[in-house]
Amino acid sequence: MVQAGEGVEPETAWDIAVPSGGAPVSNLAGGTRGLVLRVVLAVLLLGYAVVAVVSGVGRISTLDSRVVGPMNWPYDTMAARRAADDALAAKNPRLAEAMAARALLSDPVDPAVVGRLGWARMMQGNVAGADAAFRVSATMGWRDPFTQVYWIGQSLQLGQPDMAAQRMDALLRQSPGLDARDHLFAAVGATPQGRAALARQMTSHPGWTPAFLTPPAEISAQDLANRLDVIGQVPGQALDCPAMAGMVNALVAASMVAQAEAIWRKACGASDALIYDGRFAHFDVTAQGGTRAFDWQVASRGDVSLSLTPLDATSRELEVRVSGAISRPVLRQVLVLRPGRYRLTWTMPDLSVTQAAMVRVGLGCNLGRGAAEPGQLLGEQARGGGASSRYARDVVVDGACQAQGLIFWVEPGVDVRLSDVQLVRTGG
């Protein structure tokens, strides 16, 4: 047997002492103290585990609406914060203020809780109380959205649009999916000075630029015009061409086609030519339907075959074949032209008169095949040891529509090689 005192503390040893007299006697005093200590330790550990579990449930409840955290206990910070959020969403600021105040009891230095308290007070019209709360949360850092939004508004009221734009930028960089971002864009961009401040922020390619270039469906005419003004002040290299699609579509829907084309050309690096990419240098035949509003758009039907062959460093030839039974529109582009007379020219090598007549071109408001006509042969051009024919069509553009469509129709049974599409204005 192990004797007490031989390297084991009596208070922690479950030992039986054998005195020299012989009969074993239990060490009840030492055993009782060891048992008590173990029970106390187990209770403390259990209590800590309960606190950790309940606190963890409270934290999870802020992330998952299906989890309800415990309330009315000393460590219900997260559950109370979640309750405050629910109350704010339900437009019940009185309950939100009470829940935020409860959360502060166990975590008085949480800026997110103080921010919710300030927002609840502001919703109740308690301007002084809200300002006091937001002044406290501002000293704890700038990661709380409620606090940031409040001070963005204060900056605008004080005539500090640059400060408002900087705070908005900081907020959206950390919370790019913020529900209130369109309201922030509208508020900061409501004045010329605010729009200039937004443009300066956008020159650094912030992550919220695509959101700014994608107006909501319900945007007002004034807010849309304000965004257009901001884009006009941003250098083209700071704008993303694919991301501009939302803004272009919104402007077209608002009958602002000319403005839509102008910002598209700016963002997409288009030249001043009346036709974009007439040499097919940037054309992608796999982009079914087109990814750029004023770029070439191709047919999305299975009976139309398209492929590209390089001609030189800056131009390619588009090979087209229709395998179906009827004529198909194979290529089109939206143009914005002033009223007047224009000449459209293009190159198609190695076609007979009959074959050339199987390619019809339309330019105007009517995109139907009936409005399209074959081109007139201009002459032969030497190219690469062979001959290439140039065709032309003269058209008159009136003011019947804001935008015109250029469209190529091809009939089945002919292999067409198309290149160097150009459009020039020939008169008023």
**Average of per-residue pLDDT across 186-215:** 96
Of 87-101, 216-230, 348-362, 384-398, minimum mean pLDDT range = 384-398
Task: Confirm whether pTM is higher than 0.85.
Answer: no
pLDDT exceeds 80 at position 136: yes
Confidence of residue 62 (pLDDT cuts 50, 70, 90): very low
Of 9-18, 23-32, 156-165, 367-376, minimum mean pLDDT range = 9-18
For residue 381 the two structure tokens come to 């051009």
| Mean residue pLDDT across the chain | 81
- C-alpha atoms less than 13 angstroms from C-alpha of 420 in its C-beta half-sphere: 14
Taking the C-alpha atoms of residue 243 and residue 291, their distance in angstroms, rounded to an integer, is 10
416 in Cβ contact with 410 (< 8 Å): yes
Confidence of residue 275 (pLDDT cuts 50, 70, 90): very high
- What secondary structure, in 3-state letters, does the chain show? CCCCCCCCCHHHCCCEECCCCCCCEECHHHHHHHHHHHHHHHHHHHHHHHHHHHHHHHHHHCCCCCCCCCCCCCCCHHHHHHHHHHHHHCCCHHHHHHHHHHHHHHCCCCHHHHHHHHHHHHHCCCHHHHHHHHHHHHCCCCCCHHHHHHHHHHHHHCCCHHHHHHHHHHHHHHCCCCCCHHHHHHHHCCCHHHHHHHHHHHCCCCCCHHHHCCCCCCCCHHHHHHHHHHHHHCCHHHCCCHHHHHHHHHHHHCCCHHHHHHHHHHHHCCCCCCCCCCCCCCCCCCCECCCCCCCCEECCCCCEEEEEEEEECCEEEEEEEECCCCCEEEEEEEECCCCEEEEEEEECCCCCHHHHCCEEEEEECCCCHHHCEECEEEEEEEECCEEEEEEEEEEEECCCCCCEEEEEEECCCCCEEEEEEEEEEEEC
For residue 248 the two structure tokens come to 């272009």
State which amino acid sits at residue 165: A
Q: Where are the domains of the chain?
A: 10-51, 174-269, 297-427
**Average of per-residue pLDDT across 354-375:** 94
For residue 69 the two structure tokens come to 């955290």
Specify the pLDDT at position 354.
Answer: 94
In Å, how far from its chain's centre is CA 131? 32
pLDDT tens sequence across 75-117: 467 888 888 889 888 999 999 899 988 888 877 888 888 989 9
Specify the pLDDT at position 121.
Answer: 93
For residue 341 the two structure tokens come to 């007379």
Angle at 232 between CA 227 and CA 237, to 5 degrees: 110
Fold of 297-427: Jelly Rolls (2.60.120)
**Average of per-residue pLDDT across 169-173:** 93
Specify the pLDDT at position 54.
Answer: 34
Of 41-45, 186-190, 309-313, 314-318, minimum mean pLDDT range = 41-45
| Residue 229 or residue 52, greater confidence | 229
pLDDT tens sequence across 237-265: 999 888 898 999 999 999 999 999 999 98
Backbone angles phi, psi at 321, to 5 degrees: -145, 135
**Average of per-residue pLDDT across 286-291:** 53
Specify the pLDDT at position 360.
Answer: 97
Specify the pLDDT at position 69.
Answer: 44
Q: What percentage of the chain has pLDDT greater than the value 70?
A: 79
Of 34-43, 70-79, 158-167, 318-327, minimum mean pLDDT range = 34-43
pLDDT exceeds 60 at position 72: no
Taking the C-alpha atoms of residue 427 and residue 424, their distance in angstroms, rounded to an integer, is 9
385 in Cβ contact with 300 (< 8 Å): no
Taking the C-alpha atoms of residue 402 and residue 189, their distance in angstroms, rounded to an integer, is 28
Residue 349: which of 415, 277, 424, 421 has the closest Cα?
415
pLDDT tens sequence across 174-192: 888 888 999 999 999 999 9
Confidence of residue 168 (pLDDT cuts 50, 70, 90): very high
| Residue 342 or residue 16, greater confidence | 342
Specify the pLDDT at position 31.
Answer: 52
Specify the pLDDT at position 55.
Answer: 39
**Average of per-residue pLDDT across 419-423:** 96
Of 159-163, 269-273, 342-346, minimum mean pLDDT range = 269-273
Specify the pLDDT at position 28.
Answer: 40
Taking the C-alpha atoms of residue 60 and residue 54, their distance in angstroms, rounded to an integer, is 10
311 in Cβ contact with 388 (< 8 Å): no
